[in-house]
Chains A and B, each alone.
Chain A
Amino acid sequence: MPVPVYPSGTVRVLLGTEHVSEATRAAVQSRLDAPAAYVPQFLAPDTYALLEAVAARLFPQPDRPTQPIPLAPAVDQRLTEGRADGWRYDALPPDREAYRLGLGGIQEIAQALFQADFMALNPGQQDAVLQALADGHPPGPAWETLAAGRFFEELLAELTETYYAHPLAQEEIGYVGMADLPSWTKIGLNEKDDREVS
């Protein structure tokens, strides 16, 4: 099956057209314009660097060596502001505590498996650490109180939703739903409106 290939800048081109509403443009543009550098406000610098390293394995972006889609800032900003998304697994402590404990726990897994800091491991070893977490029964005292499977699910879901909210990630999967004005007229199988790429 053909994977959609967008000419570079497709979303940026669409954003300049009347197919995008003002509210939509503001939302999408703000993510494109987000500064590359981010100073963490909630997480300590070391913890934030660890979160970035974890995010880089959960969403490897070898295709964007200089400007990866930023994922860790959204987490730090949310924790800073104390925002929630309406629910939490009762099995997990409040988000700030869960992130602090969970990131510490990832270091414990790295130590248990490779006797080294997560940041010092090669990508394959880092993936092994994360797989142990994903499997739900990783080594380390943190995981005696923190539900590993649920923590991993929440971490992965938050990073995933942040990644695919970014217009360049949406471009990557062939989504141009933000350009929905005045309407979609071709909505059936194998149909496309002119502004959709083939």
Chain B
Amino acid sequence: MPDEEVLEEGVLSPVQPEIQDPLLRALLADEPAPAPLDIPAEQPQAIPAEADEVDCVVIGLGAGGAPLLARLAMAGLKVVALEAGPWHNPEQDFATDEKAQDFLFWNDERLAAGSDPLAMGKNNSGTGVGGSTLHYTAYTPRPLPDDLHVKRDFGQGEDWPVSYEELEPYYEEVEQFLGISGPTPYPWGPARRKGYALPPLPLNSAAQLMVRGAEKLGIRTSPAANAALSARYYQEGIGWREACTNRGFCQAGCSNGAKASMDVTFIPLAVQHGANIRPNSFVTEIERDARGYVTGVVYIQNGEQKRQCCRHLFLCGGSVETPRLLLLNELALTSGQVGRNLMAHPGVQVWGTFEDMVRPNKGIPGGLISQDTHRPKDADFIGGYLLQSIGVMPVTFAGQVARGRKLWGQPLRDYMRQYNHIAGINILGDCLPHADNFMELAEEKDARGLPKPRLHFTAQENEQRMNAHAEKTMRAIWEAAGATDIWAFQRYAHVIGTARMGKSGDDAVVDANGRAFDVPNLYISDNSTFPSALSVNPALTIMALSLRTADKFLESLK
């Protein structure tokens, strides 16, 4: 085996570490110090500044950054977006192959600590123009109004400083713009002014099986709201997008634009209105003036260090990179909440084997929903969860079987032969913030020389009770549907809350509009600002909040 020191992990073109200081080099080498040369010392090279200051820089082009980028561009502002990952051509580049699609994930290593370490990578991250929406499942239920008031209703957790009523027009706008397919009327929550843009997608086998089991138990179900088109859809400023072809590969990237990832929706809209998109641009520094206002950012694009000056900065890197940038730059830290309040959705899955032919790779993975468990009558926990039928791609499923069932050898191969007869249900449940759950910067450095993020997560009593309740419910549904060999996979999804919003800078990083209490021209727009986790998938709310933040910002300029 080669010497460990030869290659630094994660560095593809390693260089010999070189001691820059001649005196130190001489001391270490035990040589006489070189005589000072009579030439002018080389000046540190100035980072070339972009010629112009722009109105706004947006960091990150996922669900948090893309909607507001479009809004700001449409308002006539000069905007630049910096995205760490590349800009793909899905039709040409995206394979129907899980391994080949690994490039969609944020593959720099994050350290998962605590008793329930959070799987990151394909479970919980994204990179590229479109961010995590490139591989989100597109499951887009709205939260129910009381999701925003867990503390009011239960005396624990946090309330949102924004009400459902304030968010509602934005939910509606996003649903119509993305072309969300879903049931009208929607069976849970308050009546809506407008139905979904398109009828629901067809139910796949897992969804049909969940209907079968839930009906017997008196649990109401409905086709779910999904941000994938059940029919061709026209968007002003973008054109036609084609209908979903039931590939079932949402989590490995949609190749025909049917799924409403940001790269086929808000980003082309932003570009059409003059937004400047810079892919492969990794931000390292946020610069400030003496007053503490942000003046610009330094980033590395294709190996070259660059600077972009701006009047306002929108930080939209998600719940790991956003707090990491704040911590690295010692920015907006007064409240002490950056990195704290880390929450993750309980996402326990229950799998079963059926006599019927399922073929779980086909169709929108999350075809069905029930929110009857939003506030269960027999709950011994705070909050609640939703139920979702799930299809699954083979490599993802096999990995979970290995980790969760601990099968190996012939039993693993035998079990996997039932793949075409497997169907699952999972939950998405609320999570309470806890002092033990937080993100910090580790001593260990990544390939860029920056400290790796370390995420501490331990499910507390409330999450454990919710999981137990949910597992029992899902096992009952699968038994009623005729499943055998039922097993549960403990899992947590989405990282939330590491730069939370609130009413006061004493205990929150940003206000209800996403503006940092400490830094007047810094806004944060992503799931790091969520004060509570909500009992629904976060993408729709991230987008709605993003548009609201843009509007509040634009109002403030008047």
The residues of A with any CB-CB pair to B shorter than 8 Å are: 1, 3-4, 20-24, 26-28, 42-44, 47, 57-60, 80-91, 94-97, 100, 127, 130, 134, 153, 156-157, 160-161, 163-165, 170, 172-175, 177-178, 180-185, 187-192, 196
B420 near A4 (CB under 8 angstroms)?
yes
B4 near A160 (CB under 8 angstroms)?
no
Residue from the list A20, A26, A86 in contact with B110, Cβ < 8 A: A86
Asked whether B217 is an interface residue with its Cβ less than 8 Å from the other chain, the reply is no
Q: How large is the interface on B (under 10, 10 to 19, 20 to 34, 35 or more residues)?
A: 35 or more
Which B residues are in CB contact (< 8 Å) with A183? 245-247
A160 near B398 (CB under 8 angstroms)?
yes
B205 near A27 (CB under 8 angstroms)?
no
Residue from the list A28, A134, A175 in contact with B420, Cβ < 8 A: A175
Residues of B386-420 contacting chain A, CB below 8 A: 393-395, 398-399, 401-403, 406, 408-410, 412-413, 416-420
Which A residues are in CB contact (< 8 Å) with B398? 160-161, 163-164
13 pairs, A vs B, C-beta closer than 8 Å:
A26-B100, A82-B7, A83-B107, A85-B122, A86-B121, A86-B124, A87-B120, A91-B113, A95-B9, A96-B9, A180-B249, A183-B246, A184-B362
Asked whether B299 is an interface residue with its Cβ less than 8 Å from the other chain, the reply is no
B409 near A127 (CB under 8 angstroms)?
yes
Q: Given A4-B420, A188-B203, are A170 and B394 also a contact pair (CB < 8 Å)?
A: yes
A187 near B202 (CB under 8 angstroms)?
yes
- Which one of B108, B357, B417, B419 has the highest number of Cβ atoms from chain A below 10 Å of its Cβ? B357
Asked whether B77 is an interface residue with its Cβ less than 8 Å from the other chain, the reply is no
Residue from the list A3, A44, A86, A165 in contact with B1, Cβ < 8 A: A44
A173 near B94 (CB under 8 angstroms)?
no
Which A residues are in CB contact (< 8 Å) with B98? 165
9 nearest interchain CB pairs? Answer: A86-B121, A183-B245, A87-B120, A27-B100, A90-B113, A44-B1, A187-B363, A23-B95, A164-B398
Which B residues are in CB contact (< 8 Å) with A173? 394, 416-420
A157 near B95 (CB under 8 angstroms)?
no
A1 near B247 (CB under 8 angstroms)?
no
CA distance A3 to B409 in the complex (A): 18
CA distance A134 to B249 in the complex (A): 32
Which A residues are in CB contact (< 8 Å) with B413? 59-60, 172
Q: Given A21-B95, A85-B121, A86-B125, are A187 and B204 also a contact pair (CB < 8 Å)?
A: yes
B440 to chain A minimum Cβ distance, whole angstroms, is: 11
Q: Please give 5 more A-B residue pairs, beta carbons under 8 A apart, in addition to A23-B94, A85-B122, A134-B408.
A: A87-B111, A90-B117, A165-B99, A180-B247, A180-B249
Which B residues are in CB contact (< 8 Å) with A59? 409, 412-413
Residue from the list A58, A84, A86, A172 in contact with B408, Cβ < 8 A: A58
A182 to chain B minimum Cβ distance, whole angstroms, is: 7
Which A residues are in CB contact (< 8 Å) with B419? 173-175
Which A residues are in CB contact (< 8 Å) with B203? 188
Which B residues are in CB contact (< 8 Å) with A163? 398
B97 near A28 (CB under 8 angstroms)?
yes
A24 near B96 (CB under 8 angstroms)?
yes
CA distance A153 to B399 in the complex (A): 10
Q: Given A27-B99, A58-B409, are A184 and B246 also a contact pair (CB < 8 Å)?
A: yes
B247 near A60 (CB under 8 angstroms)?
no
Asked whether B92 is an interface residue with its Cβ less than 8 Å from the other chain, the reply is yes
A180 near B363 (CB under 8 angstroms)?
no
CA distance A14 to B119 in the complex (A): 34
CA distance A42 to B6 in the complex (A): 11
Q: Given A90-B454, A173-B417, are A189 and B247 also a contact pair (CB < 8 Å)?
A: no
A153 near B112 (CB under 8 angstroms)?
no
A4 to chain B minimum Cβ distance, whole angstroms, is: 6
Which B residues are in CB contact (< 8 Å) with A164? 394-395, 398, 416
A166 to chain B minimum Cβ distance, whole angstroms, is: 9
Residue from the list A89, A100, A177, A190 in contact with B362, Cβ < 8 A: A177
Which B residues are in CB contact (< 8 Å) with A44? 1
Asked whether B355 is an interface residue with its Cβ less than 8 Å from the other chain, the reply is yes
Residue from the list B361, B402, B417, B444 in contact with A3, Cβ < 8 A: B417
Which B residues are in CB contact (< 8 Å) with A187? 202, 204-205, 246, 359, 362-363
B204 near A86 (CB under 8 angstroms)?
no
A185 near B246 (CB under 8 angstroms)?
yes
B111 to chain A minimum Cβ distance, whole angstroms, is: 4
CA distance A117 to B536 in the complex (A): 52
A157 near B12 (CB under 8 angstroms)?
no
Which A residues are in CB contact (< 8 Å) with B173? none
B112 near A23 (CB under 8 angstroms)?
no
Asked whether B506 is an interface residue with its Cβ less than 8 Å from the other chain, the reply is no
B109 near A86 (CB under 8 angstroms)?
yes
A1 near B355 (CB under 8 angstroms)?
yes
B402 near A190 (CB under 8 angstroms)?
no
B245 near A43 (CB under 8 angstroms)?
no
